[in-house]
Amino acid sequence: MAIVGSVKVDSRPVEEILRRKGLTVNGDVQRFHTANVLRRIVRYMPYRTGSTIKLTQAQSPVSRPEINTFVPYARYLHEGKVMVNAETGQGPGVVPGVGPRWRRGDQLKATEQDLTYTVTKNPEAGPFWGKRLQEKEGDAMLADLKNYVQGRGDPV
């Protein structure tokens, strides 16, 4: 005995379903995840005065799916390597009363020498903050995200 028939599926477009569930680039779920990453990543960032962390938080609105650190020394801190002038191989000049500064337009290159981070405030501070956060807290962040999505309910 064969069953013959047809099934009609009346569904909304995928984009609309994702938007209603908060799963778009600027949706609720993405904003929650960006805020969670931003809150957690500071543990892995170097902290001397706190200005880099504060600027990162100010430059990374949770409405965007990215964490930004737009400061001249960000690459230097993030890569964890001492930088020198690509042409001369020398470090920065010292400006009296200010400290070490690079000349505008200097091209820098990383050396093999590691930076020594101040770890009194953030014992986990070191290079490649995002990768280290993912390695150490990726499972916890996934659990947070899962709990958030499940706790939101199903929007109508």
CA dihedral 24, 25, 28, 33 (to 10 degrees): 130
Residue 155's pLDDT is what? 55
Composition of the chain by helix, strand, coil, percent to 5:
40, 10, 50
In the beta sheet, which residues pair with residue 85?
108
Contact 45, 56 (CB under 8 A): yes
- Give tens-digit pLDDT for 47-73: 988 999 999 999 999 988 999 999 888
- Give tens-digit pLDDT for 8-44: 888 888 888 888 878 888 888 999 999 999 999 999 9
Of 139, 138, 155, the closest CA to residue 27 belongs to 155
Residue 94's pLDDT is what? 77
* Percent of all residues in the chain with a pLDDT value above 70, rounded to a whole number: 97
Q: Which token pair is 56?
A: 């990162």
